[in-house]
Amino acid sequence: MSPQRGPSGHLIVIGGHEDRQCDKAILAHFVALSGGPDARIAVVTAATAHPEQTWDTYCKALGDLGASHCEHIHIETREDANRAELAAKLADADGIFLTGGDQKRLLANLGGTELDTAMHRAFKEHGACIAGTSAGASAMSGHMLAEGDGLDRPPTEGVSLRAGFGFLQRVVSDQHFSERHRLARLLTVVAQNPYLQGIGIDEDTALVIDRGLGVEVVGQGAVTIIDGRSMLSNAAEVDQCDTPELIDVRLHLLPAGKRYELGADDHANDHLPPPLLDFLKNVTKRNPAS
């Protein structure tokens, strides 16, 4: 374990297409929060159909940022994902990066395996930094957005949830958010699942979560939060192909560069608007139930 690594653990939820050529701001955050150049970093390419090419890209980008201990973890089967030596490497990693690809493939092969358990151990037991981009980002929450086109307006069909890794709970995140016009899709999910707060992350943008402490938006775009908990809706009653009525959905737009810190107690959080405070408390929660 590198000495710089903090005990609290960080999550970096990336909206896809993060810069890997120029300033690499998001990847630089990942390296720093993993503990710096000496951090042991594992790049998990299980989501993609092009693991070698993806690994080459990240190996070079992370190397350019000074990370000197990067390792490629690729698995093709659940059998691979239960191999003890791979699990040991992940459990001992300072930083774990989940690449893009297909989140259904990622979970189908890793969900519930030794590698899954190892990632949770790395995060919870010694505060590793867990980052995911695109499909890898979708997979980080307990409820994972798995299907559905970037529909023009909310219907009540065409979107499905599956079980994700659960590093975050009571949220569902969608990537490439502005670029692929996914607000309608996220509204649909929130209308059907008001228990979940929707997080829409633009490309080359990341929501960096410092467990127990706060969040920061890094990169070029913004993070959109959709909160339907006080919403009134007829989503449960309308036909699958009809647009539901939604009244009083709350929307927050958090641009890159913004940082929101939680105080030690509620009094210290008086400066935070209540709807935002509630979101912060939720995503920075320690030891969420899986």
Question: CB pairs under 8 A, 24+ apart, for 284-289?
Answer: 284/209, 284/210, 284/211, 284/212, 284/213, 284/214, 284/215, 285/169, 285/211, 285/212, 286/8, 286/211, 286/212, 287/124, 288/142, 288/166, 288/167, 288/168, 288/169, 289/166, 289/169
Mark 130-159 with x for binding to its own copies (rule: CB under 8 A) and - for no binding. Answer: ----------------------xxx-----
Applying CB under 8 A, does 16 fall inside the site for its own copies? Answer: no
Applying CB under 8 A, does 66 fall inside the site for its own copies? Answer: no
Q: Which residues belong to the active site?
A: 134, 176, 203
Mark 189-208 with x for binding to its own copies (rule: CB under 8 A) and - for no binding. Answer: -------------x------
User: Rounded to whole angstroms, how far apart are CA atoms 256 and 233?
Assistant: 31
Residue 75 DSSP one-character state: -
- Look up residue 286 and give its two tokens: 């320690």
Applying CB under 8 A, does 250 fall inside the site for its own copies? Answer: yes
Applying CB under 8 A, does 1 fall inside the site for its own copies? Answer: no
Mark 109-128 with x for binding to its own copies (rule: CB under 8 A) and - for no binding. Answer: --------------------
Cα 151 to chain centroid distance, Å, stands at 22
Nearer to its own copies by Cβ, of 59 and 251: the residue is 251
Applying CB under 8 A, does 252 fall inside the site for its own copies? Answer: yes
Residue 268 DSSP one-character state: G
> Which amino acid does the sequence have at 245?
E
Read off φ and ψ for residue 261, nearest 5 degrees: -110, 140
The piece of 5-13, 40-48, 254-262, 282-290 that touches its own copies (CB under 8 A) is 254-262
Nearer to its own copies by Cβ, of 94 and 174: the residue is 174
By CB under 8 A, name the binding residues for its own copies: 152-154, 178-179, 181, 183-184, 187, 202, 221-222, 232, 238, 242-256, 258, 273, 275-276
